[in-house]
Structure 1
Amino acid sequence: MKKISIFFLGLLALTSCKNDPDNAAGEIAVEQEQKIEPVSDDVLASAVIYEANIRQYSPEGTFDAFTEDIPQLKDLGVKVIWLMPIYPISETKRKATGDLSIEDIEDPEEREKYLGSYYAISDYTDVNPNFGTKEDLDELVETAHENGMYVILDWVANHTGWDHQWLKDHPEFYTQNEKGEPVDPLNPATGESWGWTDVADLNYDNKELWKEMTEDMKYWIAEHDIDGFRADVAGEVPTEFWDQAVVEVKKIKPVFMLAESEDKDLFHNSFDMGYNWEGHHLMNEMAQGKVTVKAWDDYMKKIDTTYQQDDYLMNFVTNHDENSWNGTVTERMGDASEAMVALTYTIPGMPLIYSGQEYDMDKRLKFFEKDTIPKAKGKMWPVLEKLGELKNSNPALHGAKEAAPHNRIQTSNDAKVLAFERAANGDKVVYVANMSDKPVEFTMEVTGNFTPYIGKKDFELTENGNYKFGPWEYVVLVNN
């Protein structure tokens, strides 16, 4: 409808110009659609990112079904939507179950239920017909923009599916064995297959590949107003490729780049944010009693010395890999889950919500078959809503290029109690948690006038600074 309206506005403007003797040049003034402001560090500083698994988000598994829910994501503080790969999936060597591909499944009806890996792409410039059309995707992007959210695509530059046209037209784009045959990705340390047998490894020694891959990335920015990319296994692709590709893409408009990596070298030119993999694994280990808070403290000190001041990471308790292969949040973190979620919002960086997390999802989503997330709001929705509001609005939790500092608060039991403060422009946020499965009593000094924002409901600052927390109990305080 909007395109039709603009067409008629153009006709009216043209008629007006013909009747206007002062418009000698015949200029046409056409009212333009209002766009979302360009993505920027200021916007990203207070952002929450949402990973959308289109296939599993709804029973329909379509763009349209997800688009319907975009407005309510604002309630969770979401400012960036990351779409898992939306492209057609290769049929050849398509993953089925275990080590089997669909070629190993004899029953035709059984074969049909295996939809393959999102990351085995047959065409970088088309959409999976199961999800809908490009017009449906455009509607998704437009709806996101109208609601103040940016949309980034999952970009899989390391490999393609076995049906990709390049395998016929440009076999030189692929890593080949001694027989000249394309191979699936190999572990550089051992030379053995990673087991990703449904994809063919791309060879970035070939500079013509760089050109073709970059053009495919530019297509989505120029033709579908996409706002950036999440780069799958970014560290397996030469940093020099990303550097030149991002320069070319940014000639069209500013973009946001997320690397599935914590390699600090990727942040120099190409990427805005990386994965906080090490922090995530430490959260799992703390929740499972395998490490104490000291390990976390050591990690935060390491972060300060390893990364540049303007580097930042994505914090998460789950994502598509973790959920499907390593277990649900409850499986991995148990009763510590909510304290860990709150931690991802209060440390420097950007918190992630994965499809279903907001609905207390407690199952592993199938990866190669159709599945569906729950859609009933329970305990987690209001928690994420409140944390998202704090992240969006409180400068003390800003976490992008100019992150508010993170200062450890010493307690009498630092092996079990994690406490820290972040502050900016007079605003302060304090996080305190018992990171153990036993009750703890401890002392700490927090000066100032603070109010509990979320977590332990009966928390009060005392003059003697003595506190009792139950197992995995936490509180987030804000200054008045």
Structure 2
Amino acid sequence: MNKIIRNAWFLALFAIALYSCTGSVKQDTGTQQESTALENSEQGVFHPEWSKNATIYEVNVRQYTKEGTFKAFAEHLTRLRQMGVDILWFMPIHPISEKNRKGTLGSYYAVQDYKAVNPEFGTLEDFKSVVDQAHDMGFKVLIDWVANHTGWDNQWIKDHPEWYKKDSTGNMIAPFDWTDVAQLDYGNQEMREAMIDALSYWVSEADIDGYRCDVAGMVPVDFWANAREQLNEIKPVFMLAEDESEIALLEEAFNMNYGWEFHHIMNGIAKGKKNANDIMPYFDSVTIKYPEGAYAMQFITNHDENSWNGTVFERLGDGVETFAVLSFTVPGMPLIYSGQEAGMKKRLEFFEKDQIDWSNIQFGDFYQKLDQLKNDNKALWNGSAGAWMDRISTEADENVFAFKRTLDDNTVLVVLNLSGEAQTITLQDESINGEFTNYFANEIVELNANPSLNLKAWGYQVYIK
């Protein structure tokens, strides 16, 4: 990061620290307070206070329990809250089209009715109940929204065929090879209004807190900007874009997008195709491209990666925990996918029933500790509420990624061996001096200038001051 960008970043951090840092305890702010802040925001997308140190969790209702219902999932809310989860992102909850359906149960992303609930999951009242329970426990709730296309037996196809894109022969078309869906035409203003009406319905009726928007970059930016404006009139919402290339989405409508590039860098390092030196160029580009306050969701898995590209163990091997620590400590909001905390070693079927095995939640304590690390250390907070990271050089920069993030009196030092061989390294940073807490060992250590550390294969150490 060049000197001008670095100085601007720290000036912004100083202003944010004076304005909004209130300690390590997560606090929910009321709608009235958030609305006032929204109205007073001069430019850009408003970031709600509750998102500043949040962790997001993706809920796959179908596969979560034997029943595959909202009621059955609700039994896990206490566990998830104790693990430190703040935001629940439900994969699409709508009825799934039967026409051109893939597999027995079909894709969640082939929506039959935007204003209804998938009967396999329960009723509208069941969903509202789980949202209410989640809110009572301190969660925020997002639902997945598919705005680019609908299923082939969606009522819109029958009532408003003019709302869909067509080929030269006048036939409706599917995007790519997604044969179970038909692509909508955003050149039609009536369709846009109907889509915003459906988006508004769930905020008003079920009191959800925002959306994760599927293939958001395939939908015009001005639509999302208009939708966000109208949703915020109901309540301030949080918006996640499944996109990385269309930065205007972050400028006009979305709080967060996907860190796809960083995800692929981690996969590449695990396979020996990339190394630790490939990480900082990505984050340097983020400081240039992203608008102030916006950030990426960082993850080692999600529903697409698990089902189509492999489990974390297939892709990351012995480095699973190390890359998880990395995803929780770099700038951005960390994601946990259903079953990740149970060490799930299977690719979940996408179109069939394939229940997650919860008999041994072997990584539950590990992710609880990572969530607490994120929550308690403001240097790690999201966007402008947290600090940027400075890489620390070692003798083994291709294999070891070391960095620190400092905000006010809080410093988090992270040292990761991203290789399958033990490393003995010296951190080339004279400013590292004094007592630190070795977070995972839970002990106080004295680190002097340019400290030397021993790292086992795929080892990780986190120090807090």
TM-score class, shorter-chain normalisation, is 0.7 to 0.9
User: What's the TM-score once normalised by structure 2's chain length?
Assistant: 0.87
1:455 deviates by 6.7
Say if 2:68 is the partner of 1:86. no
TM-superposition CA deviations, 1:68-96 (whole Å, max 9, x none): 11122112221110000000000000012
Q: Which residues in structure 2 correspond to 1:53-72 (within 5 Å)? A: 53-72=60-79
The Cα offsets for residues 210-268 of structure 1, whole Å up to 9 and x where unpaired, read as 10000000000111111110000000000010010111111101111000012321111
**Which residue type is aligned with residue 78 of structure 2?**
P
Q: Show the counterpart of 1:172.
A: 162
1:447: Cα distance to partner? Answer: 2.3
- Distance in structure 2 (CA, Å) of the matches to 1:464 and 1:419: 12
User: What CA RMSD, in Å, does the superposition of the two structures yield over aligned residues?
Assistant: 1.7
d(CA) in 2 for partners of 1:37, 1:275 = 28
Q: Distance in 2 between matches of 1:471 and 1:429?
A: 22
Alpha-carbon offset, residue 461 of structure 1: 3.6
Aligned residue for 2:233? 251
In structure 2, the partner of 1:238 is: 220
Assess, with a 3 A threshold, how the Cα gap between structure 1 residues 460 and 362 changes in structure 2: closer, same or farther: farther
- Aligned position for 2:198: 216
Q: Does 1:443 align with 2:426?
A: yes
What's the offset of the Cα at 1:401?
3.7
- Compared CA separation, residues 459 and 367, structure 1 to 2 (3 A): farther
Contact kept, 8 Å, 1:459 with 1:475, in 2: the verdict is no
Superposition deviation, residue 288 in structure 1: 1.1
Change (3 A) 1:464 1:153: closer
Q: CA deviation at 1:209?
A: 0.8
Aligned to 1:449, the other structure's residue is in SS state: strand
Mapped to 2, the partners of 1:119 and 1:340 lie a distance apart of 29
Q: Show the counterpart of 2:385.
A: 402
The structural deviation recorded for 1:197 is 0.1
Cα distance, 1:122–1:36 mapped onto 2, change above 3 Å: farther
- The 5 A counterparts of 1:39-118 are 41-96=48-103, 114-118=104-108
Q: In 2 relative to 1, CA 176–413 (structure 1 residues): closer, same or farther, beyond 3 Å? A: same
1:386 counterpart letter in structure 2: K
Query: What does residue 405 of structure 2 align with?
Result: 422
CA 1:456/1:415 → structure 2, altered by over 3 Å: closer, same or farther? Answer: farther
1:354–1:426 Cα change, 3 Å: same
Work out whether residues 434 and 447 of structure 2, in 8 Å CA contact, stay in contact via their aligned partners in 1.
Answer: no
Change beyond 3 A, Cα 1:161–1:467:
same
Pick closer, same or farther for the CA change 1:350–1:450 going to 2, 3 Å.
same
1:456 positional shift: 10
Instruction: Describe the superposition over 1:257-294 as per-residue Cα deviations: whole angstroms up to 9, x where unpaired.
Output: 00001232111120011000000000111111111111
Are positions 1:128 and 2:121 aligned together? no
Structure 2: state its 5+ residue gaps: 1-27, 35-46
SS class of match (2:252)? coil
Task: Answer yes or no: is 1:291 the counterpart of 2:274.
Answer: yes
Q: Report the Cα distance in structure 2 between the residues aligned to 1:457 and 1:158, rounded to whole angstroms.
A: 51
Alignment of 1:300-449 (within 5 A): 300-444=283-427, 445=429, 446-449=432-435
1:150 and 2:140 matched: yes
Match of 2:172 among 162, 179, 182: 182
Q: Distance in 2 between matches of 1:349 and 1:308?
A: 13
- Give secondary structure in 2 for the equivalent of 1:209: helix
**For the Cα contact (< 8 Å) 2:342–2:360, is it kept in 1?**
yes
Give the corresponding residue for 1:469: 455
| Separation (CA, whole Å) in 1 of partners of 2:274 and 2:445 | 26
Q: Is the 8 A contact 1:41 1:401 kept in 2?
A: no
Amino acid corresponding to residue 434 of structure 2 in structure 1: G
Identical counterparts, % of pairs: 47
Q: Give the deviation of 1:462 after TM superposition.
A: 5.7
- 1:69 partner letter: H
Answer yes or no: is 1:162 the counterpart of 2:157: no
TM-score scaled by length of structure 1: 0.85
Secondary structure in structure 2 of the residue aligned to 1:476: strand
Higher deviation after alignment, 84-93 or 401-410 = 401-410
Equivalent position of 2:22 in the other structure: none
Contact 2:203 / 2:210 at 8 angstroms: preserved in 1? yes
Is this contact kept in 1: 2:433–2:449, CA < 8 A? no
The Cα shift of 1:42 comes to 2.2
Aligned partner of residue 236 in structure 2, secondary structure = coil
Structure 1 residues 463 and 225: CA distance shift in structure 2, 3 A: closer
Change (3 A) 1:135 1:292: same
Q: How many residues align?
A: 420
Q: 1:449 to 1:249 in 2, by over 3 A?
A: same
Q: Over residues 116-148 of structure 1, what are the superposed CA-to-partner deviations in whole Å (9 max), with x where a residue is unaligned?
A: 000000000000000000110011000110010
Q: Could you tell me whether the CA contact under 8 Å between 2:257 and 2:296 is conserved in 1?
A: yes
Q: Distance in 1 between matches of 2:96 and 2:361?
A: 34
Asked if 2 retains the 8 angstrom alpha-carbon contact of 1:154 and 1:231, the reply is: yes
Structure 2 match to 1:27: none
Please say if residues 36 and 148 of structure 1, whose CA atoms lie closer than 8 Å, have aligned partners that are also in contact.
no
Gaps of at least 5 residues in structure 1 are 1-34, 97-113, 186-193
Structure 1 residue 37: Cα displacement: 3.2
Question: Which one-letter code corresponds to 2:100 in the other structure?
Answer: K
Alignment equivalent of 2:252, drawn from 244, 248, 269: 269
Counterpart of 1:408 in structure 2: which amino acid? R
1:195 to 135, 157, 177: 177
Moved more, 390-399 or 87-96: 390-399
SS across alignment from 1:78: coil
Moved more, 421-430 or 85-94: 421-430
CA distance in 1, matches of 2:343, 2:49: 31
Q: Note the C-alpha offset of 1:425.
A: 2.5
Distance 2:286 2:159 in 1: 45
In the aligned structure 2, how far is the partner of 1:46 from the partner of 1:442? 31
Question: How many Å separate the matches in 1 of 2:296 and 2:377?
Answer: 19
Kept in 2, the 8 Å contact 1:409–1:421? The answer is yes
Distance 2:193 2:272 in 1: 49
Is 1:37 the counterpart of 2:27 in the alignment?
A: no
